[in-house]
Amino acid sequence: MSNVRETRGTGGRGNCPAFAPTLPPVPTLHLPRVAHRGSGNRRRTLATFIIAVLLLVAVVAVGRLLATSNPFAAAPTTAPAALATDFTAKNLPPSLSHPFGTDWMGRDMFARTLAGLATSVFVGLLAAGASAALALILGTIAALGGRRADAVITWLIDLMLGIPHIVLLILISFAIGKGFWGVAIGVALTHWPNLARVIRAEILQCRESVFIAQARRFGASPLRIVRDHVFPHVFPQFLVGLVLLFPHAILHEAAITFLGFGLPPEQPAIGIILSESMTYLSAGYWWLALFPGIALIATVLLFDRAGSNLRRLIDPYRSQE
Amino acid sequence: MLRFIGGQLFKLIMLMVAVSMVSFVLVSLSPIDPVQMNVGQVAYLNMSEVKRAQLAEYWGVNTPVWERYLHWAQSALQGDLGMSLRYNAPVTQVIATRFANSAALMATAWLLSGVFGLLMGIAAAVRRGGWLDRFIKGYSFLLASVPTFWLALVFLIVFSVWLGLFPLGFSVPIGVSPADVTIAQSLHHLVLPALTLSVVGVANVALHTREKTIDVLQSDYVRFARTRGESTASIIWRHGLRNLALPALTLQFASISEIFGGSVLVEQVFSYPGLGQAAVTAGLGGDAALLVGITLISAATVFSGNLIANLLYRVIDPRLRPTPRGMSGRFLSKTAGAAHE
């Protein structure tokens, strides 16, 4: 510390002879934000994205199949694999024939989990899609609809973010009623504020740009400007925001179902499985909670992977990372 | 300052009015018939038509929403939020006792996740690209995808069922009257829920702090400090923490909403008698008055968090303090000071 003060005192600012010998021969003016470690391969990023999407599609397809039919059963008339009960094989720990074990009604937990994941992904897709559309519309109106519309929507966003998420979900589920639509609408209505904020900021920035001003000079109508210039500009943000909404939507669907507000008990859902497993925890049936949870985490991570890889592909600021 | 307080107070009042209106409307949209819900299924079936109409009148089935809201708002202004159906007590009283329980849980989790998240974020940024960084980043990304309630279940299995270290639930031992509970016993019941909340909460704070620290470490003033030969520890202590303080505070106080939401789930798993559990009971049991009350208190909590953050900015960063004159001069000298000191 002291020697620095000394230099500052004695040496002038223009020529600093005390510093010159210690400086590196070529000063580093810019350090890359992220060290290149083979991650700059866009093809690999694209491959990761596609694999993640394919895996998700596979999970949903198999889950739907298990929830509606039973490919393993001998007789074609038996119940779907996810619901088939077998009281001779109840509360079995995981084994080769039942990888996730069985529950107190002898249902195979692997089939139940996959069927539940399919439901969760479906609700997540529906809710995240609706939520993102809502965000796009409200964000656009806020940015382009004049001062009053902006004030109203910004205020609405602040209001939504001012109430904890779960409490808001409970309120909406209380208003609409439980069941599939209750959850889907609840999740859709609560997840738009963050994305709407991003889109609003993005459009506000784009509105000031030269090409919009030019289009306006050429006499393009506001609708045409929005369609031809603004939407293409915010589309990457929108797409990434949409994909990154899925994990949140799925987790909140599971959480609200777990609390008892969401899907009904007869529907296969991860939240239902986990809340039922709570009764059997003290009996030591750990597999009832462990594996469905891990499967849910894996699904959420897949979505997250897909989203961040997509962002890397289409976000020009990050495309070289 | 007075103007600032006035403005914030006005914002709080507006928020409370809006939240109460929204939650009141949502609650009254409910398909649940208040008469049936309040008297119970059997009693409702055995009840005479006249009695039903009387009760419908009492619960205000036929009065329009806005009229009921005005009634409610009038008594709410006098501190009366109505009666809780499920707990058979005034809503304010239920919320007060429950809030005390939840506050202990949330404050512990909030402090732990804030402190450890900050430390982990700085450590990861300083060792960027190393194994510590990869470990912390991996942990944070993973934990961001882990449902809180599932982690609570796993902790219950491991620590309570297998190891038997902690109780299976509740905030006091079973069969002990509330007056006889010692602090040690309360803490013993608090550990596992608080641990769950903190372990999840750390992830977000660590990731954001890491980003910010990387920004700081790439700044010109840090490069200058390095050329002077300052050690990394001293750079973090002298330049890093000062510049990280504001974003860290914002993050920490913004996380109150997250912690509140997480506590709803965790309290449900651990049967911890807090506000979150009451919210679930109210929602499932059709207890409209309590649900509105809890929504209000949760919104007020989040708002106070943001307000405290705003106030702390002024304490920490002199640049944000409103000074009548010489503003630009102080601004310059302070930034220069921060960079060279």
Final residue belonging to a domain, choices B54, B89, B124:
B89
The CA distance from B122 to B240, in Å, is: 9
Is B269 within 8 Å of A19 when comparing Cβ atoms? no
The CATH number of the domain holding residue B218 is 1.10.3720.10
Q: Is the pLDDT of residue A179 over 50?
A: yes
pLDDT for A85 equals: 67
Token match 């979150």: residue? B276
Residue B99 and residue B72 in one domain:
no
pLDDT for B66 equals: 78
Which residues of chain B carry a pLDDT beneath 50? Answer: 325-341
The pLDDT > 70 percentage for chain A reads 77
Digit-coded pLDDT (tens) for A22-43: 544 554 555 555 555 545 577 7
Residue B153 and residue B239 in one domain:
yes
Residue B34 and residue B158 in one domain:
no
Q: Which residue of A has its CA nearest to B164?
A: A282
Is A171 within 8 Å of B145 when comparing Cβ atoms? no
List the structure tokens of A308.
């961040």
Residue B69 and residue B176 in one domain:
no
Nearest to A281 among B22, B23, B156 (CB): B156
Fold of A41-58+109-314: MetI-like fold (1.10.3720)
Note whether residue B124 is domain-resident. Answer: yes
Which candidate in A39, A176, A259, A297 is best for mutational testing of the B interface (most B CBs within 10 A)?
A: A259
Q: What is the 3-state secondary structure (H, E, C) of B130-189?
A: CHHHHHHHHHHHHHHCCCHHHHHHHHHHHHHHHCCCCCCCCCCCCCCCHHHCCHHHHHHH
Note whether residue B314 is domain-resident. Answer: yes
Question: What part of A 15-44 touches B (C-beta under 8 Å)?
Answer: 19, 22-23, 31, 33, 35, 37
Note whether residue B330 is domain-resident. Answer: no
Q: Which residue of A has its CA nearest to B289?
A: A171
Question: What part of A 289-318 touches B (C-beta under 8 Å)?
Answer: 289-290, 293, 296-297, 300-301, 304
Residue A36, CB-side half-sphere exposure with 13 Å CA sphere: 8
Query: How many cross-chain Cβ pairs, A to B, lie less than 8 Å apart?
Result: 142
Residue B247 and residue B102 in one domain:
yes
Cβ-based contacts of B258 with chain A (< 8 Å): 164
- A230 touching B (Cβ < 8 Å): no
Is B291 within 8 Å of A170 when comparing Cβ atoms? yes
Digit-coded pLDDT (tens) for B274-298: 888 888 888 888 788 888 889 999 9
pLDDT for A84 equals: 67
Note whether residue B230 is domain-resident. Answer: yes
Determine which of A46-55, A82-91, B141-150 has the lowest per-residue pLDDT on average: A82-91
Q: Please give, rounded to a whole number of angstroms, the shortest distance from the CA of B103 to a CA of chain A.
A: 15
Final residue belonging to a domain, choices B55, B89, B123:
B89
Cβ-based contacts of B291 with chain A (< 8 Å): 170-171, 174
pLDDT for A134 equals: 92
Residue B177 and residue B292 in one domain:
yes
ipTM of model? 0.81
Task: Please report, as a single letter, which amino acid is at residue B57.
Answer: E
Digit-coded pLDDT (tens) for A253-284: 888 888 888 788 777 788 888 888 887 777 77
- A243 touching B (Cβ < 8 Å): no
Query: pTM for this one?
Result: 0.79
Residue B80 and residue B103 in one domain:
no
- A165 touching B (Cβ < 8 Å): yes
Please give the residue range of the domain that contains residue B18: 2-89
pLDDT for A138 equals: 92
Nearest to A166 among B142, B144, B265 (CB): B265
The CA distance from B137 to A47, in Å, is: 22
DSSP 8-class letter at A80: P
Number of Cβ within 10 Å of residue A105's Cβ equals: 14
Give the mean pLDDT of A152-171: 88
Digit-coded pLDDT (tens) for B212-237: 888 888 888 888 888 888 888 888 88
Residue B240 and residue B252 in one domain:
yes
Cβ-based contacts of A251 with chain B (< 8 Å): 145, 147
Task: Please report, as a single letter, which amino acid is at residue B270.
Answer: F
Q: Please count the residues of chain B.
A: 341
Residue B128 and residue B154 in one domain:
yes
Residues 6+ apart with CB under 8 A from B166: B159, B160, B188, B189, B191, B192
Cβ-based contacts of A167 with chain B (< 8 Å): 260-261, 264, 279, 294-295, 298
Are A255 and A296 within 8 A, CB to CB?
A: no
Q: Which residue of A has its CA nearest to B144?
A: A301
Nearest to B261 among A23, A164, A171 (CB): A164
Cα–Cα distances in angstroms (integers) from residue B244 to residues A9, B237, B294, in the given order: 30, 10, 34
Report the candidate in B129, B108, B132 with the shortest Cα–Cα distance to residue B119.
B132
The pLDDT > 90 percentage for chain A reads 3
Are A67 and A272 within 8 A, CB to CB?
A: no
**DSSP line for A199-249:** HHHHHHHHHTSHHHHHHHHTT--HHHHIIIIIHHHHHHHHHHHHHHHHHHH
Q: Which residue of B has its CA nearest to A290?
A: B154
Is A255 within 8 Å of B147 when comparing Cβ atoms? yes
Residue B185 and residue B261 in one domain:
yes
Residue B223 and residue B283 in one domain:
yes
Pairing relationship of beta strands B89-90 and B83-84 according to DSSP bridges: antiparallel
Q: In chain B, what's the furthest Cα-to-Cα distance?
A: 89
Residue B117 and residue B222 in one domain:
yes
Q: In chain A, what's the furthest Cα-to-Cα distance?
A: 95
Question: Is the pLDDT higher at B172 or at A302?
Answer: A302
> How many domains are there within chain B?
2
Residues 6+ apart with CB under 8 A from A157: A193, A196, A197
The CA distance from A27 to A34, in Å, is: 19
Task: Please report, as a single letter, which amino acid is at residue A12.
Answer: G
pLDDT for B92 equals: 86
Is A300 within 8 Å of B269 when comparing Cβ atoms? no
- A284 touching B (Cβ < 8 Å): yes
Which candidate in B29, B102, B150, B170 is best for mutational testing of the A interface (most A CBs within 10 A)?
A: B150
pLDDT for A174 equals: 84
pLDDT for B135 equals: 92
